Amino acid sequence: MKYVPNYMLPVAGLMLLAFMLLAFLNTQAKSNELNIYSYRKPHLLEPLTDRFQARTGIVVNSVFLKKGLLERLEAEGMNSPADIVMTVDIARLKALTDAGLVQSVSSDVLEANIPAQYRDPNGMWFGLTTRARAIYYSVDRVDPGELSTYLDLANPKWKGRICIRSGHNIYNRSLISSMINHHGEAATEVWLKGLRANLARKPQGNDRAQVKAIAEGLCDLSVGNTYYMGKMKVNPDQQAWADAAAIFFPNQDTHGTHVNISGVSVTKSATNISNAIAFLEFLTSDEAQEIYARDNLEYPVKDGIPWHPEVESWGGFKADSMRLIDVAAQSPAATMLVDKVGFDN
């Protein structure tokens, strides 16, 4: 046994105590944190994280990932620091689930605040806001009385009058997936061919670009998420585009307008699970849902929350009641049909 002088014992004891204290402080610091990987831009997330941090004292760290979010989680595996992943569209949430990157969460609060069609039945993902995929139409060249359903967009009367973004865009892919569920693959293929035949130009750009094309007279109709119209209305550089178009909610006499979500999941690697669940519950609270509605002009997922005045001006509508998990299940078939009909060519 190595001899240790008596005068060294107090020093050794103090060093051991220091190491124990440091380990304890590191554990405490970690238990008081929440790490988020977010597809949503920081300015949309910060009002929510700032309010949650002020209320709970939990330090929120977020990383904005416009691309490669799933790939990063896969590469990091169980060493990922992320506790929560926030993204948009049911197809992305389903992809995270299928890749085994998220875990099930059980919460009475989440079940009470979020309608069943907007959350995974096994607690793998939860919707936070909703957005309708509506029809944009020219206020000068289209009588809204001429509009009716998504299927009617394949009517030859619209030949050369429709602009749209890529069929492979995730928002369009989910719309096509919902059409497969409602009408079957064969009928959806016929519809896609008819829609393609009515396009004024090759699919391109984003949803705002389609409204710009309507304002410039390149086309009379398009399909887009509702909140983009609200964003353009308050943007001085884009307000003229929005003023040239209006929103029509299709299928009001049938199954209703297709609705998608922004959503959230707890990662498989999460170490701060209790903090993550507390944040999810906060995001579905009246306070957080009002912030979502005010700042991003989306529809609150929780019933009874007031809409933004601009959103209110578009009027109420009947939303498709189809479960989004059923929409996501048809995403591979939707991708196949887009390629099969050469929609983007």
pLDDT higher than threshold 50 for residue 64: yes
pTM of the model: 0.88
Inter-residue contact 36 to 269 (CB < 8 Å): no
Query: If you count them, how many residues does the chain have?
Result: 345
Confidence of residue 286 (pLDDT cuts 50, 70, 90): very high
Is the predicted pLDDT of residue 199 greater than 80, yes or no? yes
Q: How many domains does the chain fold into?
A: 3
* Judgement on whether residues 107 and 39 belong to the same structural domain of the protein: yes
Q: How far apart are CA 70 and CA 265, in angstroms?
A: 12
267 with 279, same domain: the answer is yes
Q: Is the pLDDT of residue 58 over 90?
A: yes
pLDDT at residue 260 tops 70: yes
164 contacts 213 by C-beta, under 8 angstroms: no
Q: Where does the pLDDT of residue 41 fall: very low under 50, low under 70, confident under 90, or very high at 90 and above? A: confident
Query: Average pLDDT for residues 239-265, to the nearest whole number?
Result: 97
- Do 158 and 304 share a domain, yes or no? no
Instruction: Determine the Cα–Cα distance for residues 224 and 135; give it in Å rounded to an integer.
Output: 6
163/48 same-domain check: no
Instruction: Return d(Cα 58, Cα 49) in angstroms, integer.
Output: 10
pLDDT for 259: 97
Q: Buried b vs exposed e over 60-84: b needs ≥16 C-beta within 10 Å?
A: bebebbeeebbebbeeeeeebbbbb
pLDDT tens readout for residues 143-172: 999 999 999 999 999 999 999 999 999 999
Rounded Cα gap, residues 153 and 207, in angstroms: 17
* Within-domain flag for 177: yes
Same domain (yes/no): 252, 136: yes
190, 295: one domain: no
125 and 182 in a single domain? The answer is no
Question: What is the chain's mean pLDDT, rounded?
Answer: 91
| Distance of alpha carbon 195 from alpha carbon 162, whole angstroms | 8
What mean pLDDT do residues 67-73 have? 93
Cα atoms in the 13 Å half-sphere on the side-chain side of 210: 29
> Where does the pLDDT of residue 297 fall: very low under 50, low under 70, confident under 90, or very high at 90 and above?
very high
pLDDT reported for residue 30: 59
Please tell me whether residue 137 adopts helix, strand or coil conformation: strand
Query: What percent of the chain has a predicted confidence (pLDDT) above 70?
Result: 91
Residue 345 lies in a domain: no
The answer on pLDDT for 19 being more than 60 is: no
Per-residue pLDDT for 12 more than 90? Answer: no
If asked whether residues 304 and 180 sit together in one domain, one would say no
Q: Is 50's pLDDT higher than 80?
A: yes
Q: Are residues 67 and 212 in the same domain?
A: no
User: Measured at the alpha carbon of residue 242, what is the angle toward residues 167 and 192, in degrees to the nearest 5?
Assistant: 20
Domain assignment of residue 247, yes or no = yes
Inform me whether the pLDDT recorded for 15 exceeds 80. no
Asked if 116 and 151 sit in the same domain, the reply is: no
Helix (H) / strand (E) containing 243: helix 239-243
Report the pLDDT value the prediction gives residue 10, as an integer from 0 to 100: 52
Which of these, 136, 158, 317, 144, lies nearest to 228 by C-alpha position?
136
Average pLDDT, integer, range 254-273: 97
Q: Are residues 227 and 298 in the same domain?
A: no
Q: How far apart are CA 163 and CA 153, in angstroms?
A: 11
Task: For residue 228, give its domain range.
Answer: 132-258+318-340
Per-residue confidence (pLDDT) for residue 266, from 0 to 100 = 98
Q: Band the pLDDT of 67: cuts 50, 70, 90.
A: confident
Q: 8: pLDDT confidence band, cut at 50, 70 and 90?
A: very low
At residue 218, the pLDDT reads 98
Residue 22 banded pLDDT, cuts 50, 70, 90: very low
Helix 170-183 vs helix 331-340: crossing angle, to nearest 10: 100
- pLDDT at residue 17 greater than cutoff 60: no
pLDDT at site 92: 95
Report residue 99 as tokens: 């890749």
313, part of any domain: no
Residue identified by tokens 């009928």 is 187
* Residue 109 scores a pLDDT above 70: yes
Query: Which of 141 and 7 is assigned the larger pLDDT?
Result: 141
Spatial separation of the C-alpha atoms in residues 231 and 337, rounded to whole Å: 31
More confident residue, 6 or 50: 50
Percent of the chain with pLDDT over 90: 87
Which residue type is seen at 190?
A: V
Rg of the chain over Cα atoms, rounded to whole angstroms, equals 24
- For residue 280, give the CATH number of its domain: 3.40.190.10
- Per DSSP (E only), the strands in 227-335 are 245-248, 259-267, 299-300
Note whether 203 and 333 are same-domain residues. Answer: yes
Residue 58 lies in a domain: yes
